[in-house]
Every structure is written in structure tokens, then in C-alpha cells.
Amino acid sequence: NAGVTQTPKFRVLKTGQSMTLLCAQDMNHEYMYWYRQDPGMGLRLIHYSVGEGTTAKGEVPDGYNVSRLKKQNFLLGLESAAPSQTSVYFCASRLAGGDKNIQYFGAGTRLSVL
Amino acid sequence: KNEVEQSPQNLTAQEGEFITINCSYSVGISALHWLQQHPGGGIVSLFMLSSGKKKHGRLIATINIQEKHSSLHITASHPRDSAVYICAVKYDYGGSQGNLIFGKGTKLSVKP
């Protein structure tokens, strides 16, 4: 049972380059999230999705785009990377509703933008 | 702005010690989560609670809704407990979509 899988695990970009981070979950979860984690700060929500075909902005959405074309996949795109986007990115997913809102996290993607 | 405050930021303990990590929040919540981030970076959920106390092995989580405060206790600490412990809350207001607000984490190091 793979759970939540993030690819790639590491990436180095030059300023202005683009890339897509992939998150895949095999638990049939409705909700999916993209967070960034920076030193001295808590996890911050970038974008999230409550179901296939829907996305919404979180706390820090600028410079990122997302898509949820299939229920199991949530993609995070950086169209023109900036050094401020150097961070560790985590994807998470959960079931909808009630007491089933424990989030399951991927292993993270460490991104450096030079 | 809704905030989640954790204390202490860093904690060093000797193996076997009883450890307490604290979390406070500012407004009404519907649930509070404790998570553990391993030195390798992976994050796992330890507890989700909305009242009272939960226990799992050597870990105990308590919450006081009136005081807007939660504690995570580790009994008989062990070096393998060394990790960052993160508190997160689900605020109870319309439009929140059940999204979590995270504290900055408490870095625990348990020495043998």
C-alpha cells in the first residue's frame, strides 16, 4: 500500500525555469493538499482540492498553479521559479467529512531555486 | 489571524524522562492534531482529538477546550522519540473547508 507518493524527491532549478511536482494517492481520498515548509515556520497551505476537477487557493498560492484532473493525482506547477520558492513541499490527502479528516502526508520534495 | 503557538521550540531530554510539549490556539476549534516529523522528513499523524485525552503506547495527548490548550506527553522517553512534533488545529468557522493551521513545531532530542 503506497499511500501518498511524491515525485521527484529532490530538484534544483534555475530562476525562471518551470517544473511540475506530482502527488499520487491510492487511498481514494477526496481531499488533497499542497504545503510548503520553510525554516522557522509552520506548514503553509499553497492550494488544495476537495475533489476531482476542483481546486482552491490556500494561504500562499502566488507563483503556483495546480490541477486535479484525476481523483488520485494532484499536480503542483511552478511556471517561472524564483529563489523564494526554495522550500520543502509536502502533499497530503484525506477522506472527506466527519472524524475521518486525518491527513496522510507524502515524503516531501526538496526544491532549490538558484 | 488565527494562530497556533507551540512551546518549547526546542527540547533536549535524557532517556527515560517524562516530556511535555504544549500547544495553544486563539479561537474555537473543531479538532486538534498532533503530528510527528521524523529526522528524514516524513510526517505522520499521531492523534486527532476534540476533547479529553487519548493514549497510544507511551504517548498521551490532552486538550482543554475552555483554556484553548493541548499537551502532548511522552512517558519513558527514548532516543527514537527524537523528532519534530507539530500541533495543528481545524478552526470551527464557515469557509474554513476544514483546512489545518499548523504550529511551528517543537524539536525534541532525547539523549541516551
DSSP A44-81: EEEEEEEETTEEEE-SS-TT-EEE-SSTTEEEEEESS-
Say what the pLDDT of residue B96 is: 60
Q: Tell me the pLDDT band of A4, cut-offs 50, 70 and 90.
A: very high
Say what the pLDDT of residue B61 is: 97
Please indicate whether residue A97 or residue A72 has the higher confidence score (pLDDT). Answer: A72
Contact B42 A44 (CB under 8 A): no
Share of chain A above pLDDT 70, in %: 96
Shortest distance between the Cα of A43 and any Cα of chain B, in A, equals: 6
Contact A104 B103 (CB under 8 A): no
Nearest CB among A40, A58, A92 relative to B104 is that of A40
CA distance B48 to A58: 22
Q: Residue A56: what are its φ and ψ, rounded to 5°?
A: -150, 155
**Ranges of chain B whose pLDDT falls below 50:** none
With a cut of 60, say whether residue A99 has pLDDT above it.
no
Contact B4/A at CB under 8 A: yes
Share of chain A above pLDDT 90, in %: 88
Mean pLDDT of A72-77: 98
Q: Are A63 and A85 in contact (CB under 8 A)?
A: yes
Nearest CB among B90, B98, B103 relative to A42 is that of B103
Q: Residue for cell digits 481546486? A: A55
CA distance A93 to A102: 8
pLDDT tens for A15-68 read: 999 999 999 999 999 999 999 999 989 999 999 999 999 999 999 999 999 999
Say what the pLDDT of residue A17 is: 97
With a cut of 70, say whether residue A100 has pLDDT above it.
no
Mean pLDDT of A80-91: 97
Say what the pLDDT of residue A104 is: 93
What does the mean pLDDT of chain A come to?
93
Say what the pLDDT of residue A25 is: 97
Helix (H) or strand (E) holding B19: strand B19-25
